[in-house]
Amino acid sequence: MGGTCAPKLDTISAQRQRPNTVLMYADEMGYGDFGAHNDGYVQTPNLDALIGESHCLSQHYPGSPVRSPARAALLTGRYSHRTGAVTPQEVRGMDRIATREATIGDTFKAGGYATGMAGKWHNGALDARYHPNPRGFDELVGFRGGWADYYRWNLDVNGLTRPSDGRYLTDVLSEEAVPFIGRHAFDPFLLMVPFNAPHSPLQAPDVIVEKYSGMDLSRDVALTYAMIEVMDQAAGRILTELEYQGLDENTIVMFTSDNGPAFMLRSDQVPSGVNIDTTRYNWGFNGAKGSVYEGGIRVAMIMRWTNGLPSGHHEVTNLIHFTDWLPTLAAAAGIDMQGDLPLDRNNVLPQILGEQP
Position 40 scores a pLDDT of 81
State whether the Cα torsion 23-24-26-32 is positive or negative: negative
State whether the Cα torsion 136-133-113-182 is positive or negative: positive
Q: Is the pLDDT of residue 65 over 80?
A: yes
Q: Is the pLDDT of residue 298 over 50?
A: yes
Q: Is the pLDDT of residue 1 over 60?
A: no
Q: Quick one: pLDDT band at residue 39, thresholds 50, 70, 90?
A: confident
If you count DSSP H runs as helices and E runs as strands, how many of each does the chain have, helices first?
10, 12
Average pLDDT rounded to a whole number, residues 222-230: 98
Average pLDDT rounded to a whole number, residues 280-290: 96
Angle at Cα 303 formed by Cα 298 and Cα 307, nearest 5°?
160
Strand pairing of 189-194 and 114-120? parallel
Position 10 scores a pLDDT of 40
Position 8 scores a pLDDT of 40
Contacts of 314 (CB under 8 A, 6+ apart): 54, 55, 56
Is the distance from CB of 245 to CB of 6 less than 8 angstroms?
A: yes
Measured CA to CA, the distance from residue 241 to residue 3 in angstroms comes to 13
Position 9 scores a pLDDT of 39
Q: Is the pLDDT of residue 12 over 80?
A: no
Q: Quick one: pLDDT band at residue 216, thresholds 50, 70, 90?
A: confident
Position 14 scores a pLDDT of 36
Q: Is the pLDDT of residue 357 over 90?
A: no
Q: Quick one: pLDDT band at residue 212, thresholds 50, 70, 90?
A: very high
State percent of the chain over pLDDT 70.
96
Q: Is the pLDDT of residue 224 over 70?
A: yes
Position 11 scores a pLDDT of 35
State percent of the chain over pLDDT 90.
93
Instruction: Report pLDDT digits (tens) over 79-89.
Output: 999 999 999 99
Measured CA to CA, the distance from residue 119 to residue 252 in angstroms comes to 19
The CATH class of 17-352 is alpha beta
Measured CA to CA, the distance from residue 150 to residue 202 in angstroms comes to 9
325: phi then psi, degrees, rounded to nearest 5: -75, -35
Position 299 scores a pLDDT of 97
How many CB atoms lie under 10 A from the CB of residue 15?
10
pLDDT, mean over the chain = 94
Position 146 scores a pLDDT of 94
Position 339 scores a pLDDT of 94
Instruction: Report pLDDT digits (tens) over 152-187.
Output: 999 999 999 999 999 999 999 999 999 999 999 999
pTM score of the predicted model: 0.94
Position 213 scores a pLDDT of 86
Position 204 scores a pLDDT of 98
Instruction: Report pLDDT digits (tens) over 240-269.
Output: 999 999 999 999 999 999 999 999 999 999
Average pLDDT rounded to a whole number, residues 140-161: 97
CB burial of residue 17 (10 Å; 0-12, 13-18, 19+)? exposed
